[in-house]
Structure 1
């Protein structure tokens, strides 16, 4: 069952569709070529939804073409080392079930002759630091809030969901390289930016972080973005694959739905 439907986004399907369509309709973006990867925020839709919509509106040309989506989100509730995969066969939102590409996940992470890896205390695997830890997904919102946007924009696809704990950029980049695929595969990184500064300070910090993302500069810490670990891994993989980053939107909760004395920053970025 969804963790945060009815809290971070509407639980009633018709209202959720209207909410998504309104946000996507206001996001007037056109990106060429279509993105291989995006970074989108993960707060409640009233706060970060309009910014996330900019990233997802850029994916409209990919509807019907994307077969699988790799989503990496930071862990907010469970502390662990490495990257966690899920043993679930599907992830559910009010818009329906999304099948998990379990075979692709297992093929990418298991060495022949080894049992399925579990974090922590995992044995040697094809990708050290990657394994199964269902607890990391329990109550976690950062991955879930991306799913209704993906369903509404792309239609049917298979999901490869991962929660990133204490993992270095190389570990994240190795996973992304393994699952990179071709035009049928999309990568989504879930992250907000700075947290709980006044409006002017947040703007300054988030503009600095945005400049580093655009430069594929790995000098981004947890204070800059709660998803700094998956972001740095994507930046490293983007260097290898010759991708360029483009900023589509940069705002904070003071711009969308909240006071300006204590804001959270949000950015929408595409890589192509």
Structure 2
């Protein structure tokens, strides 16, 4: 298998392709999020963040990433899991790439860790699952803004039960690894309905109830549920730090997409 660099697929669509536009946009989102912090919040070990176009979900994602920034030198590795939107997939898919590229530069993959993961029966290498997938890609510039040098373990999650995802997270739960789950919430309801549904999903996340989060509640329900399973087994807590939808951040309110930012610690 010849290593390659995974090229950005949605730069110029979901976020600016030019670094001189992208970096100030991210910094504005992060500054706005930091302004709401008290200064003594603990740094989470895992976050859930949305993955829509930045003009819609960027401010919500920044609410989680701003909590990571104080530990910019601590986290040396990121385990990133997001749902498959384009390729039907059973289990979790790794990439054979050596690097993932964004407009802000290259991110090296932790090839040794990925090869260990591929010994699990639910994990396979499937570059086609990564090629056009935005759920992982849109998290990468945020990570490049809030962390120093780090290596990446990117996993596209298809049909996988919570225990299969939990087993993967278990491999990398250490002080130097940040876990990032990429998920939006409800899709294409009117504003009031979305608020009601997404509030219920936030309550289920805070209660660590993976069985309560279904297909219509979060597109990343499978990786989310795996993280909640892990958190429940290890006595962790989940906190909602932001919950809005596209009707709040710049879109119309007749059909909205929900976004939430959550911390696990």
Partner of 1:21: 27
Alpha-carbon offset, residue 108 of structure 1:
3.0
CA contact (8 A) 2:118 2:125 kept: no
**TM-score w.r.t. structure 2 length?**
0.94
* Cα distance between partner residues in 2 of 1:74 and 1:80: 10
2:257 to 258, 264, 270: 264
CA RMSD, Structure 1 to Structure 2 (Å)? 0.9
What residue is the counterpart of 1:122 in the other structure? none
Contact 1:75 1:163 in 2 (8 A): yes
Where structure 1 has 5 or more consecutive residues not aligned to the other structure, the ranges are 111-126
**1:61-101: CA deviations, max 9, x gaps?**
11011000000000000001110000100000000000000
| Cα deviation, residue 155, structure 1 | 2.2
Q: Which residue of 2 aligns with 1:188?
A: 180
For residues 80 and 108 of structure 1, what CA distance do their matches in structure 2 show?
Answer: 17
Is 1:235 matched with 2:243?
Answer: no
Look up the match of 2:4.
none
Corresponding residue for residue 208 of structure 2:
216
| 1:48 aligned residue | 57
Count of residue pairs brought into register by the alignment: 255
User: What are the equivalent positions in structure 2 for 1:155-194 lying under 5 Å apart?
Assistant: 155-180=148-173, 182-194=174-186
Unaligned runs of 5+ in 2: 1-6
1:7 CA displacement: 0.5
Separation in structure 1 between the aligned mates of residue 139 and residue 234 of structure 2, nearest angstrom: 24
User: Is the CA contact (8 Å cut-off) linking 1:71 and 1:188 kept in structure 2?
Assistant: yes
Structure 1 runs of 4+ with >4 Å offset: none
Find 2:241's aligned residue among 239, 243, 248: 248
For 1:170 and 1:106, locate their aligned partners in 2 and report how far apart those are by CA, in whole Å. Answer: 20
Which residue in the other structure is 1:84 paired with? 93
